[in-house]
């Protein structure tokens, strides 16, 4: 299944999500609306809201009330994700995302952080309206774990001794956990049984992990235009991602020293050489293999779900997560 076909199976619902997202950005404070519209409408694949819709539809036929709740839940997930992006860009001092200036570059750090807070709180307002205590519990835990992951990543920055296990824990916390929450909440709203809820929860975690692994690969294989951000951003922030961790373990002595120094200082002076180091020692292939393993686990996790176009779309989403270029 092609990426466009994945969206096609829930095209109507996806359109409703986009409309509902825009309706929920309303505020008496013009700057909130201005920044909110800017970042929400600034491209993006809406993968996490898509996962809510597909997980719900793959679980069971939805009545009108459940249908509306999935639209609300998809919006909640997108608002939580967007608020983390606003905060991340401030912490990382990023100046470009999705090919455009970041909100903090355009308006400054303080407005970006505060609008991120607005989106978080609006998400929880909508959550109350959904009325599912189970979903509220899931997302309360999810957002707390995301915050822990962000702090752990901050601790790891500048540390060339970060292990592969520590790296994986960070990306599972800060990225994959929201994929997991999206899939699980979709299943809960649809009234899926416990076995299918667990299957979709696992699917979300595996797909989210694969997605972030490929994201980290692209920092050393893609152009700024393809990624929508500057090449070498991870290195500039001293982030020891898996391609770098592998290079420090299997690269030449000179490569190991270059990578360690770059992580310690966040320097980009030798970026081109380090990219070559990463590409020539097998780090890209290793990280891609790890991503494929996660995608395969995701597909295996939902084997028990009934056959449907929505299950096929989930399988397509897992495969697309390791084949993307942006």
- Mean predicted lDDT score pLDDT of the chain: 92
By residue count, the chain amounts to 326
* Angle, alpha carbons 96-36-188 (nearest 5°): 105
Q: Stretch 90-103: mean pLDDT, rounded?
A: 82
Nearest to 200 by CA among 122, 307, 304, 296: 304
Assign 270 a pLDDT band (cuts: 50, 70, 90).
confident
Q: Indicate the burial class of 129 (C-beta count within 10 angstroms; 0-12, 13-18, 19 or more).
A: exposed
As a whole number of angstroms, the distance between CA 247 and CA 241 comes to 10
Summarised one tens digit per residue, pLDDT across range 58-73 is: 999 999 999 999 999 9
Q: Is the pLDDT of residue 313 over 90?
A: yes
Q: What is the pLDDT of residues 76-93, one digit of tens each?
A: 999 999 999 999 888 888
- Mean pLDDT, residues 278-301 taken together: 97
For residue 165, is pLDDT > 80? yes
**Dist CA 182 CA 219 (whole Å):** 26
Residue 43 has a pLDDT of: 60
Q: What is the mean pLDDT of residues 166-172?
A: 96
Confidence at residue 89, expressed as pLDDT on a 0 to 100 scale: 87
Enumerate long-range contacts of 91-99, CB under 8 Å, 24 or more apart: 91/150, 91/154, 92/233, 92/237, 93/237, 94/229, 94/233, 95/230, 96/224, 96/228, 96/229, 96/230, 97/42, 97/228, 97/229, 98/42, 98/43, 98/44, 98/228, 98/229, 99/43, 99/225, 99/228
CA angle centred on 201, ends 181 and 173, rounded to 5°: 55
Kindly report, residue by residue over 225-258, the tens digit of the pLDDT: 665 566 778 888 889 999 999 999 999 999 999 9
- State what percent of residues in the chain have pLDDT above 90: 79
Per-residue pLDDT of 5-31, as tens digits, reads 898 999 999 999 999 999 999 999 999
């Amino acid at each position: 299944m092609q990426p466009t076909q994945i969206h096609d199976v829930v095209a109507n619902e996806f359109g409703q999500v986009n409309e509902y997202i825009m309706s929920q950005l309303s505020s008496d404070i013009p700057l909130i609306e201005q920044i909110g519209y800017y970042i929400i409408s600034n491209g993006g694949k809406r993968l996490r809201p898509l996962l809510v819709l597909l997980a719900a539809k793959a679980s069971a036929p939805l009545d009108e009330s459940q249908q509306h709740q999935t639209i609300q839940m998809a919006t909640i997930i997108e608002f939580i994700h967007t608020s983390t992006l606003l905060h991340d860009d401030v912490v990382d001092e990023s100046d470009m995302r999705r090919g455009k200036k970041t909100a903090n570059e355009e308006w400054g750090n303080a407005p970006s952080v505060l609008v991120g807070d607005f989106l978080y709180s609006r998400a929880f307002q909508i959550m109350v309206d959904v009325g599912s205590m189970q979903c509220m519990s899931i997302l309360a835990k999810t957002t707390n774990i995301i915050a822990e992951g962000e702090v752990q990543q901050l601790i790891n920055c500048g540390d060339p001794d970060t292990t592969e296990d520590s790296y994986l824990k960070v990306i599972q916390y800060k990225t994959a956990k929201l994929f997991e929450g999206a899939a699980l909440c979709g299943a809960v709203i649809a009234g899926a049984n416990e076995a299918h809820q667990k299957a979709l929860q696992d699917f979300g975690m595996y797909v989210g992990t694969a997605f972030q692994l490929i994201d980290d690969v692209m920092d050393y294989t893609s152009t700024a235009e393809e990624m929508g951000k500057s090449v070498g951003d991870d290195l500039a922030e001293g982030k020891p991602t898996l391609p770098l961790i592998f290079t420090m373990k299997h690269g030449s002595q000179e490569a190991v020293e270059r990578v360690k120094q770059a992580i310690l200082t966040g320097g980009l002076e030798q970026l081109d050489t380090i990219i070559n180091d990463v590409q020539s020692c097998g780090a890209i292939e290793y990280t891609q293999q790890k991503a494929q393993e996660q995608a395969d686990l995701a597909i295996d996790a939902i084997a028990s779900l009934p056959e449907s176009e929505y299950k096929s779309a989930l399988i397509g989403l897992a495969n697309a997560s390791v084949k993307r270029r942006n």
